[in-house]
């Protein structure tokens, strides 16, 4: 999984380091002189690898975007960075630094892709035509993937498909529909020339499955149900990918080679392509900062092992609330009482001592007494691995962008929304629910469209939490105005909920009937303006320098 960055680094060393960095850091409006590139296939490979490397950008705290987005939704919260916190709280404006970083870096990658596509024709007849076509397809995939992210965060954006100069840099927004049409067309063409898999040297590059899965996701997000279902089925019919039996391993070093993973950001310490996710996620006892944390609403969303919500299941015990729950809760979140990096994780404020399982000794419990211990009483477990315990800021754990479970859920949701409900819908959902290590009860047949809509929305939460999907989901379902307004809650600092909250059709808890709800920690009070906050603002500086670019409503 690390090969692509090895070859990228080697290629840089073969060229002037200054020239390499100068090329890779160019913005779309400042492309290098076209006389310089490309002289041979090696230079083309270097440039394409640079597009992949660009996707690893970190808007804040040395973490990839995908592992940050859930912390500005109803599922999580960020203590450390004001610009990400502002997005969750609803106090952001068009000068928000996180927003600007996502915009700038996305267009930087798009600019690199455009330059490659504009100039790779110089190698026609000078290199293997099949390899040249594959590099073209890889580049078009990366560009389409970046546009896919941009339109879901910002709506319609400038659709730049050529290297442009200052004289033609005033580019207006394309409509979102036009952008979607472009993305789907690009992914169709890319899929034709991408292989279904690679040899060991090239693992980590875009595949046919990656292009089709991104097409399926883009279509789903934009209510093109038939297109989404067919593209997802096309991935399924490749017979290349399958569900990994151990859910927790997917987010650890052990799972990096799983064929459930369709496309992932590649990291490698020897090429200094690293991230600091463990440092941000881990508890104080594990020597982390615990500044990106899940909230109580997420914890109470997970079903009991009988497939019922906690307000309906006889298995739920308010005095032992983490017992008999969907195993994905424990795989995703460190909950009180669990073993977390060889410490007994406990955040009750009276638990001033805890157990170090490595030594067997009782030690000061930093997760209860430290001033900046997790504010919610929970920590993320996904993307934390004991391998990184002593080097938490330099993780080389790959970050998955597309996996097969998502494809199955896309297929099911698209068929449900198209009201084309058949056995294949149940099979797709139940495959995800019943993988070994999860083994949740199967969804029984005979449900209505509305009932299955509830099932699939909850299943996406249970399966995909902390992977960067939630913001797009609650926006497209038009639930963000309900879920991102009001109190963001943590656990009761010195106790437990007296009774289960009521759980609605989307799996969201309502604490209004809980007798001791007033004891819950209010971590943050959030505001959501429906006329504004279903989109992020265009960065202010972009609207100043590009007079053809109009700001999103409300900013």
Q: In this model, does residue 28 exceed pLDDT 50?
A: no
β-strand pairing of 292-294 with 76-78: antiparallel
The residue-averaged pLDDT of 320-324 equals: 98
Please state, as a whole number, how many other Cβ atoms lie within 10 Å of the Cβ of residue 531: 8
Taking the C-alpha atoms of residue 139 and residue 141, their distance in angstroms, rounded to an integer, is 5
For residue range 486-504, what is the model confidence (pLDDT) as tens digits?
999 999 999 999 999 999 9
Q: Is the peptide bond before 29 cis (omega within 30 degrees of 0)?
A: no
Lowest mean pLDDT: which of 31-45, 308-322, 466-480? 31-45
517 pLDDT band, cuts 50/70/90, is: very high
Taking the C-alpha atoms of residue 9 and residue 126, their distance in angstroms, rounded to an integer, is 24
β-strand pairing of 339-340 with 343-344: antiparallel
Q: In this model, does residue 429 exceed pLDDT 60?
A: yes
Write down the pLDDT at residue 35.
58
Where b means 16+ CB within 10 Å and e means fewer, 205-221 reads: bbbbbbbbbbbbbbbbb
Q: Collapsing DSSP states into helix, strand and coil, what is residue 210?
A: helix
Q: Mean pLDDT, the chain, as a whole number?
A: 94
- Domain parsing of the chain, residue ranges: 3-275+534-545, 323-394, 420-526
Q: In this model, does residue 439 exceed pLDDT 90?
A: yes
81 pLDDT band, cuts 50/70/90, is: confident
Q: In this model, does residue 356 exceed pLDDT 90?
A: yes
Q: What share of the chain is helix, strand, coil (3-state, %, to 5)?
A: 45, 10, 45
Handedness of CA 461, 466, 469, 471 (dihedral sign): positive
Percentage with pLDDT > 70 across the chain: 93
Write down the pLDDT at residue 122.
96
Rounded to a whole number of angstroms, the CA Rg of the chain reads 23
How many CA atoms are closer than 13 Å to the CA of 26, on its beta-carbon side? 26
Show Cβ contacts of residue 544 under 8 Å, excluding neighbours closer than 6 positions.
none
Q: Which residue has the higher pLDDT, 272 or 219?
A: 219
Q: In this model, does residue 33 exceed pLDDT 60?
A: no
Distance of CA 113 to the CA centre of its chain: 22
The pTM of this model reads 0.94
Q: Which two tokens stand for residue 383?
A: 């993307």
**DSSP track, 325-379:** B-HHHHHHEE-TTSEETTEE----TT--EEEETTTTEEEE-HHHHSTTS-SSS-E
Q: In this model, does residue 14 exceed pLDDT 50?
A: no
The residue-averaged pLDDT of 236-247 equals: 99
For residue range 130-150, what is the model confidence (pLDDT) as tens digits?
999 999 999 999 999 999 999
Terminal CA-CA length for the chain? 42
The total number of residues shown for the chain amounts to 555
Write down the pLDDT at residue 7.
40
The residue-averaged pLDDT of 17-30 equals: 39
Query: Is 3-275+534-545 CATH 1.25.40.390?
Result: yes
Write down the pLDDT at residue 15.
36
Taking the C-alpha atoms of residue 107 and residue 89, their distance in angstroms, rounded to an integer, is 26
Write down the pLDDT at residue 240.
98
For residue range 372-422, what is the model confidence (pLDDT) as tens digits?
999 999 999 999 999 999 999 999 999 999 999 999 999 999 999 999 999
Distance of CA 69 to the CA centre of its chain: 7
Closest CA to 242 of 399, 403, 400: 403
The residue-averaged pLDDT of 230-246 equals: 99
Q: In this model, does residue 274 exceed pLDDT 60?
A: yes
* DSSP conformational letter for 525: E
Q: Collapsing DSSP states into helix, strand and coil, what is residue 141?
A: helix
Write down the pLDDT at residue 36.
63
Write down the pLDDT at residue 167.
66
Write down the pLDDT at residue 34.
55
């Amino acid at each position: 999984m690390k090969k692509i960055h090895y070859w990228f680094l080697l290629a840089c060393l073969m060229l002037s380091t200054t020239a390499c960095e100068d090329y890779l850091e160019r913005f779309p409006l400042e492309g290098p002189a076209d006389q310089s590139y490309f002289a041979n296939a090696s230079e083309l490979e270097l440039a394409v690898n640079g597009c992949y490397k660009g996707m690893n950008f970190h808007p804040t705290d040395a973490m990839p975007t995908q592992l940050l987005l859930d912390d500005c939704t109803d599922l999580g919260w960020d203590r450390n960075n004001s610009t990400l916190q502002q997005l969750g709280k609803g106090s952001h404006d068009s000068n928000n630094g996180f927003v600007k970083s996502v915009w700038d870096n996305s267009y930087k990658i798009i600019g690199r892709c455009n330059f490659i596509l504009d100039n790779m024709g110089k190698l026609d007849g000078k290199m293997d035509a099949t390899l040249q076509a594959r590099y073209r397809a890889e580049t078009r995939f990366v560009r389409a993937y970046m546009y896919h992210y941009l339109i879901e965060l910002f709506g319609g954006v400038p659709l730049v498909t050529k290297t442009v100069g200052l004289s033609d840099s005033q580019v207006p927004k394309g409509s979102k529909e036009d952008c979607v049409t472009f993305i789907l067309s690009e992914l169709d063409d890319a899929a034709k020339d991408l292989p279904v898999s690679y040899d060991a040297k090239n693992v980590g590059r875009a595949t046919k499955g990656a292009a089709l899965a991104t097409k399926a996701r883009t279509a789903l997000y934009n209510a093109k149900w038939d297109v989404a279902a067919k593209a997802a089925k096309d991935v399924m019919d490749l017979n290349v990918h399958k569900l990994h039996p151990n859910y927790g391993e997917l987010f650890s070093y052990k799972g990096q080679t799983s064929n459930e993973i369709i496309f992932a950001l590649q990291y490698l310490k020897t090429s200094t392509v690293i991230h600091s996710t463990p440092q941000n996620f881990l508890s104080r006892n594990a020597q982390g900062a615990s500044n990106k944390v899940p909230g109580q609403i997420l914890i109470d969303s997970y079903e009991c092992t009988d497939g019922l919500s906690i307000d309906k299941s006889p298995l739920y015990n308010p005095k032992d609330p983490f017992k008999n729950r969907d195993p994905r809760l424990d795989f995703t979140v460190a909950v009180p009482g669990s073993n977390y990096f060889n410490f007994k994780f406990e955040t009750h404020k009276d638990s001033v001592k805890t157990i170090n399982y490595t030594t067997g000794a009782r030690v000061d419990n930093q997760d209860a007494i430290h001033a900046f211990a997790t504010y919610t009483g929970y920590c993320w477990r996904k993307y934390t691995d004991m391998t990184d315990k002593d080097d938490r800021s330099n993780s080389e754990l790959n970050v998955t962008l597309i996996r097969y479970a998502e494809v199955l859920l896309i297929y099911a949701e698209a068929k449900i929304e198209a009201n084309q409900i058949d056995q294949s819908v149940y099979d797709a959902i139940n495959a995800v629910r019943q993988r070994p290590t999860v083994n949740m009860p199967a969804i029984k047949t005979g449900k209505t469209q509305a009932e299955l809509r509830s099932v699939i929305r909850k299943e996406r939460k249970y399966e995909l939490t902390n992977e960067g999907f939630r913001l797009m989901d609650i926006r497209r379902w038009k639930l963000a105005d309900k879920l991102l307004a009001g109190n963001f809650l943590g656990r009761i600092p010195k106790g437990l909920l007296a009774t289960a909250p009521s759980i609605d059709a989307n799996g969201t808890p309502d604490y209004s009937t809980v007798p001791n709800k007033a004891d819950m920690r209010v971590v943050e009070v959030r505001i959501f303006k429906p006329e504004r906050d279903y989109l992020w603002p265009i960065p202010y500086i972009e609207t100043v320098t590009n007079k053809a670019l109009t700001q999103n409503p409300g900013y």
